[in-house]
Structure 1
C-alpha cells in the first residue's frame, strides 16, 4: 500500500531539497543580512509556502536591462559633446559644486549641470496646472511616465490633452507601470493608442515573469527636451485632495528647465527601450537658461551595479554638519541608514524626519514606529503631518544641498524600485526647500520620545511583527 504513495514521498523530498537550494541562494544573493535570515528560516521550515514566494519576491537584481543602459550610454556621449560646447570649460563652470558632493557623479552618466531653473510646487492642483500648460505648449514631443494612473477626472484630463497633442502631430510617449496601474481599465490605454499616443507598460516581467516584484516607480514629464517635471505625484484625484479618507494631499512636484532636462530624458529613453525595443530620435542639444541651479539627476534601480539610491541617502546623511531634514511617507531604513542618522544626531546635527500621521500601507506605517523608537534615542526628532496625507519625498542638508524625487526611505525604493532623484548643490534652491519644509513642520505635531512604549500591547506586537517583515517589504 505504501508503494502506491511513493510519489508523495518523492515530492516531499524534492520540495525540501529545493527549499535548501533556495536557502543557499538566499545566503549568497539577498542583499541584506536580515532579509537573508528571514528567507533562509522560511525556506528551511516551510518550503511549500516560502519557495514560490521566494521565486517571485526573493530576487534583488533586475535582469535584462543591460541593453537599455548601453543605449543610454551612447546618447550620453552625444549629450556630453553638447555640454562641452555649451560651457566650454565645463569643470570651471561647476567650481561652485562642493567637492564632497561630486562623488555622486560616479553613480550616474551625466554630471552636475549648471544653468538650470528649478521651482517647487507644493500641491497637486498647482503641479497639474503647470504640467498641463507645459504639455499644451509642446511643439515636437512629450514624454510621460507615471507609476499610478487612475481613470478619473485627473487621469482623463491627461488623456484628453495627450490625445489632442497627438492629433496636432506632436509625438507622445506614455510609459506606465502595469502593477501600479493594475486597476486602470484597458480601454483607458486603448483610447489613447487609437488617438496616436504611444502608450506602453514598462513590463518588469516582459522577459522573466518572476521579476514582477520590481516596480518602475518613476514619475516624470519631459517636453521637447526643454522642460521636465518629477516628484511624488501620480495621476489621480487623490493628488488634488478629492479622496474622502486622505483629505488634503501634501506632495511636492519639481519643474526644471535647462541642461538637466536631458538627464531625465536619458532615463526615460532607457526605460522606453526596455519596454519597446525602440530608440526614438529626440533633441539631445542642451539648452542653458538664466537659472543658477546646479543639478545632478540620478536614476536608480535594481539594475544598478551598486545600491545607488541607498548610497545617495548615506552620502547626504554623513555630509550633514548643521541640519538634516527628511520628508518621506515611508520610513523603513536599513541598518546603515539608521546608524548614519544616529551618528548625525549625536554629532549635533538638527535631524528631523517628517512622516504622515495617516497610513496608506499598514505594514510600512507600523514598521516606522519601530525605527522611530530606535533612532529618537540618539536625538532624531520626528514630526507627524496632520493636515491630510503627506506623500512627498524631499531632503535638505545644511544650507546648500537638497534632494527631491520619487524615492522613499525604505527597502523597496533602495533595492526594488526604479526611482529618479534630482540632487541640488545650490543655496538658492535649498532656500525654497527650507521654506517648504518649515511650513510642513508647522502643519505637524512633534512625536513625543517613547511614544511606542506608551502604546497598547497589541499595537506594539503589530509593530514588532511588521518590523520582522521590513527586509521583504
Structure 2
C-alpha cells in the first residue's frame, strides 16, 4: 500500500480513536466543563488532544478506591475505640469538616510553626536522629542532591541502629530520582516504595499523584506541610530562590491520624501495614483536625474543605498559595466572605515555577480583585507555602494548593488547628510575609500586552487539569 493510501486510513483511525476517547471522557470526566472540553477536542482535533488525554484524561480508578475506603473504615474501627466523641465547643463551626473527612478534633496538641526550609528540615533531622522504634516518611518529591543525600544518610543511620524505617515517594513527582538512590536505601534496611494508584505501572497516567508530605517519628512526633526533599526547598536553586515555605511540627493524639493516612497508602502499595504506635499524651492547648483528602473520597473533599474554611471566617481570612485556580464553589465562598465584611487576602508568588498555571492564576487574580479580594505578590522569591488563617483562633498548614489538581486529582493532607496562641504565631508570620509583598490591582491585567492577556485566557481553558 502506497503512502497516499496509508495517510487517509491513518487519519480515519485517529478520528475513530478520538471519538471513542470522547465517549470515554463524557462518561468518566468528573465535571461537565471538563467533559465538554475533552469531548470537543477529541472529536475535532484528535491529532492534538488524544495523547494528552491518555496522560491526563482519566479521572476514575477502582481498585485503590475500594481498598482505600474499606481499609480506612477498618483502621478507624480498630484505632479509634475509646477516643472522645463529639466536637469541642471552640470547634463547632468546623463540625462539617470533621464529618466530611471522618476525623476528630484531637485536644491537647503541642504545635510548632516551622518557617522556611532550613528550620523545617533541621527539626525533622533532629527528630529522625532521636528515633528509637519507627520512622514513617512520605514525600511527593525526593531529589538525589545535597538535601536528598543528607536525608538518605540520616535514614540509613537509623536503620543500622535497628529503627524500622518506611518510606513512600510519588512515582511521577520523583520521576528524576535515580534507581541507585532507592537501592542504596533498601540495601541499608530502609523499606521504600513508589506510590501509584495502580499496582501495575501505567506510563499513560499522570493524574492521582500522592502530594502528601508526612513524617512520623516513634508515633509521637509528626510533621506535615509544603516542603519536599530537594535543594530548591532550601532556596539553593535560582531563579526561584529564596524559596518561601512552611511546615508544621505537632505532638499529641492527632499524630495517630498521620500514621493512619500513611498506613492506608502503605497497605495499598505493599499489602502490609506499618507499625501503628501510640501517640504522645495531650500536653498542649490546641485542638487539631487532620484532613487527608484525595480522589478516592466519596466527595470532592479538598474543594469542600476550602469552602468550609472560608465560610467559617467572620473577621479575617488570609490565604497563601502558590497556585490560585479556584473552582466555582471556592470562588463563590471567597466572594461571599467579602460581602459579609471579612478581611480576605491572598498571597501569591511573583515568579512562576509553572508558567501555564501562573498565567491562569493571574487571570483568576483579576476576577478576585474585582470581587473585593485583596491579592498580594510575594517579592523576595518563590512563595510555595499553603497556609490559612481564620479570624484570631484558627490556622491550617497543609500540602493543599488552591487548584483543581489538589481539589480533585491529588492526595493531600492538612492540619486545621484551633488555638489562639498558634493562630497568633501564624499571624505574625503572615504579617511579615505580606510586608514583603506588593498588593496588585486590576492594572496588572490591563497593562499586560494583548498577547499575554490572550495567553491568560487560553491558560484558563486548562483549569480542569491545572
Q: CA deviation at 1:344?
A: 1.5
The answer to whether residue 42 in structure 2 is matched with residue 43 in structure 1 is yes
Query: Aligned ranges for residues 44-443 of structure 1 at < 5 Å?
Result: 44-65=43-64, 66-84=66-84, 90-91=85-86, 94-207=87-200, 209=202, 210-283=204-277, 285-443=278-436
Q: CA deviation at 1:254?
A: 0.2
Distance, in Å, in 1 between the alignment partners of 2:267 and 2:205 is 18
Distance, in Å, in 2 between the alignment partners of 1:282 and 1:347 is 44
Q: CA deviation at 1:150?
A: 1.1
Q: CA deviation at 1:217?
A: 0.6
Q: Specify the alignment match of 2:25 in structure 1.
A: 26
Point out the more displaced range, 179-188 or 421-430. 421-430
Distance, in Å, in 2 between the alignment partners of 1:9 and 1:120 is 62
**2:366/2:441 contact within 8 Å kept:** no
Distance, in Å, in 1 between the alignment partners of 2:107 and 2:444 is 44
**1:115/1:259 contact within 8 Å kept:** yes
Distance, in Å, in 2 between the alignment partners of 1:102 and 1:415 is 22
**2:196/2:209 contact within 8 Å kept:** no
Q: CA deviation at 1:469?
A: 1.5
RMSD of Structure 2 on Structure 1 (CA): 2.0
Q: CA deviation at 1:293?
A: 0.9
Q: CA deviation at 1:202?
A: 0.6
Q: CA deviation at 1:453?
A: 1.1
Q: CA deviation at 1:140?
A: 0.6
Q: Specify the alignment match of 1:87 in structure 2.
A: none
Point out the more displaced range, 373-382 or 16-25. 16-25
Q: CA deviation at 1:395?
A: 0.8
Residue 195 and residue 337 in structure 1: after superposition, are their counterparts in 2 closer, same or farther (change >3 A)? Answer: same
**1:205/1:212 contact within 8 Å kept:** no
Point out the more displaced range, 309-318 or 397-406. 397-406
Q: CA deviation at 1:107?
A: 2.0
Deviation readout 1:136-188 (Å, 9 max, x if unpaired): 11111001111111111111111101001000110000100111111111111
**2:59/2:207 contact within 8 Å kept:** no
Q: CA deviation at 1:95?
A: 2.6
| 1:211 partner SS | coil
Q: CA deviation at 1:436?
A: 1.2
Q: Identify unmatched segments of 5+ residues in structure 1.
A: 85-89
Deviation readout 1:292-327 (Å, 9 max, x if unpaired): 111111111111111000000111112222111100
Q: CA deviation at 1:62?
A: 3.5
Distance, in Å, in 2 between the alignment partners of 1:109 and 1:347 is 29
The answer to whether residue 447 in structure 2 is matched with residue 454 in structure 1 is yes
Q: CA deviation at 1:207?
A: 3.5
Q: CA deviation at 1:246?
A: 1.6
**1:247/1:389 contact within 8 Å kept:** yes
TM-score by length of 1: 0.93
**1:79/1:286 contact within 8 Å kept:** no
| 1:303 partner SS | coil
**1:107/1:298 contact within 8 Å kept:** no
